[in-house]
Amino acid sequence: MQTVIIVIHLMLVTGLIGVVLLQRSEGGGLGMGSGGGGGFLSSRGTGNLLTRATAVLAGLFFVTSLALSIIAGLGRQPTSILTPAGSPQAPGAPGPAGQPGQPGRGVLDQLRGPDQPAAPAAPAGPQVPQSQ
């Protein structure tokens, strides 16, 4: 089902690109106008047809985009970034801290790595040698 909608979506994208490129420039924002008076898209009726085709293709593009996002999220379960994947405990329950990926280690603890302690043992300051 998802593959069929993706193929339809891609056909709509190519059609939308083609219809937009066929339209006559009305603003001349980059200094490019619509050349001479007698061209392929010189009549007003063709412009209205292209405008309607653009609106229809854009609407269908929007619908297929929504359908693809809904289909992609159907089997997804909610997860939390604060608890590691595969932990059987509740999000707020304390657990043993230790190796990366163990339950009880938060995101910041995992980013620190296994070699670095969670908190410094002594305050960081200048060390003054004591004389005896």
Using the structure block, give the residue that is written with the tokens 């329950």: 93
Q: Angle of helix 2-22 relative to helix 44-72, nearest 10 degrees?
A: 150
Question: Where does the chain have alpha helices with state H?
Answer: 2-22, 44-72, 107-112
Higher pLDDT, 24 or 50: 50
- Read off the tokens for 67: 């359908």
Mind listing the pLDDT tens digit for each residue in 74-104?
A: 888 888 888 766 555 555 555 454 454 455 5
Parse the chain into domains and list their residue ranges: 1-24+46-73
Long-range contacts of 90-99 (CB under 8 A, 24+ apart): none
- Find the angle CA(126)-CA(130)-CA(131) to the nearest 5 degrees: 145
Q: Which residue has the higher pLDDT, 7 or 80?
A: 7
Q: Whole-structure pTM over 0.85, yes or no?
A: no
**Amino acid occupying residue 12:** L
Q: Which residue has the tokens 């070699």?
A: 115
First to last CA, the chain: 81
Higher pLDDT, 114 or 2: 2
Check residue 63 and give its pLDDT: 96
pLDDT given for residue 98 in this prediction: 47
Q: What is the pLDDT of residue 78?
A: 81
Give pLDDT, residue 60: 97
Give the pLDDT of residue 81: 81
Residues in the chain: 132
